[in-house]
């Protein structure tokens, strides 16, 4: 069930906060300059390669509160990818992703040689969700036959409308799961209004309390990138508030 998967991959995003990662099938990812951390895990039971990114970090508040967009986009395996005119992404989030992208892509390339049938999944909470979004799009372009999936939790918007529309063509809605917890303010912090024009991609799952399949709404509006009746109704943004800092799915929280 979808809800069970939302809980399952949330556990990975929580583990990305650990200082020491348990298990031999885990490969740490980090860049000290951008303070970007995560890990790559191999799940032999599900036949998956899971990439999890850490969320909040000391520099995150400054990063998420700066809404600078850039049209110089380097989120794929190569910097020569062609994007539609007007495509822009969050400058800080892209810089954080690019700091670990070469290592991540090289590692997964090697893993897929040994495990060619494994599916790639990316996940993360907060800033980790922004990185998971960039990673998923990049990995899908790098490995076009792999049906990459992404699960984000409390993630901010990472690009403008043109980017979000393009991302939905790379990662179909049924493979991009965006979870918002109650009135979490971070998903709406990057503003929709001009000159910014940020938009989310993927399908929203609005998790109300108490968390259960019955209280998790699927928010899709035909012809719209974001459902007007979904969490975007939380306006103005409440910022980094308690629902963002304390998230619980099943018996797991961060």
| Domain boundaries of the chain, sorted by first residue | 2-253
Q: Is 126 noted as a catalytic residue in this protein?
A: yes
pLDDT at 226: 97
Could you tell me which of 45, 206, 34 has the C-alpha nearest to residue 130?
Answer: 34
CA gap 33, 246 in Å, rounded = 27
Q: Which residues contact 204 (CB under 8 A, 6 or more apart)?
A: 178, 179, 180, 218, 219, 220, 226, 227, 230, 231
CA gap 117, 119 in Å, rounded = 7
CA gap 157, 187 in Å, rounded = 6
Rounded to the nearest 5 degrees, what angle is found at the Cα of 173, between the Cα atoms of 242 and 248?
Answer: 25
pLDDT at 24: 47
From the list 99, 138, 184, 231, the catalytic residue is 184
Which tokens in the block code for residue 206?
């609005």
From the list 126, 133, 138, 231, the catalytic residue is 126
Which tokens in the block code for residue 36?
């970007």
Question: CA dist 15 to 8, 29, 53, 118, Å?
Answer: 12, 13, 9, 21
Q: Is CATH 3.40.50.620 the right assignment for the domain spanning 2-253?
A: no
Could you tell me which of 172, 152, 174 has the C-alpha nearest to residue 93?
Answer: 152
211 alpha carbon, distance to own chain's centre: 20
Q: Is 5 noted as a catalytic residue in this protein?
A: no
Reported in sequence order, the residue ranges of 154-239 that DSSP labels E, i.e. its strands, are: 159-160, 176-181, 198-199, 203-207, 216-219
Rounded to the nearest 5 degrees, what angle is found at the Cα of 49, between the Cα atoms of 100 and 208?
Answer: 90
Helix, strand, or coil (residue 61): helix
Cβ-contact 176, 203 below 8 angstroms: yes
CA gap 58, 51 in Å, rounded = 22
The four Cα atoms 188, 202, 43, 181 give a dihedral, to 10 degrees, of 30
The tens place of each residue's pLDDT in the chain, 254 residues long, gives 899 999 999 989 888 766 555 444 678 887 766 778 899 999 999 999 999 998 765 454 455 556 778 887 777 655 445 677 889 999 888 888 999 999 999 999 999 999 999 999 999 999 999 999 999 999 999 999 999 999 999 999 999 999 999 999 999 999 999 999 988 889 998 999 888 899 999 999 999 877 889 999 999 999 999 999 999 988 877 777 656 666 555 554 44
């Amino acid at each position: 069930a979808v809800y069970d998967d939302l809980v399952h991959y949330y556990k990975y995003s929580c583990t990305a906060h650990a200082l020491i990662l348990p298990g031999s099938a885990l490969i740490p990812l980090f860049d000290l300059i951008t303070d970007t951390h995560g890990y790559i895990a191999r799940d032999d039971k599900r036949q998956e390669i899971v990439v999890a990114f850490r969320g909040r970090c000391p520099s995150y508040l400054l990063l998420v509160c700066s809404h600078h967009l850039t049209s110089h986009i380097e989120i794929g395996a190569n910097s020569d990818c062609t994007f539609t005119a007007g495509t822009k992404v969050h400058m800080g989030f892209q810089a954080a992703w690019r700091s670990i992208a070469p290592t991540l892509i090289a590692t997964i390339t090697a893993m897929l040689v040994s495990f060619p049938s494994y599916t790639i999944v990316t996940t993360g909470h907060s800033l980790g969700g922004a990185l998971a979004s960039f990673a998923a799009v990049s990995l899908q372009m790098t490995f076009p036959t792999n049906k990459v999936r992404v699960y984000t939790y409390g993630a901010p918007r990472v690009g403008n409308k043109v980017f979000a529309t393009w991302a939905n063509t790379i990662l179909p809605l049924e493979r991009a799961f965006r979870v918002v917890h109650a009135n979490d303010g971070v998903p709406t912090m990057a503003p929709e209004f001009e000159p910014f024009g940020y938009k989310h991609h993927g399908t929203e799952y609005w998790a109300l309390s108490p968390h259960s399949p019955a209280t998790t709404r699927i928010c899709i509006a035909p012809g719209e990138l974001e459902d007007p009746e979904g969490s975007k109704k939380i306006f103005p943004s409440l910022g980094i508030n308690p629902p963002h800092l304390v998230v619980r799915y099943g018996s797991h929280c961060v």
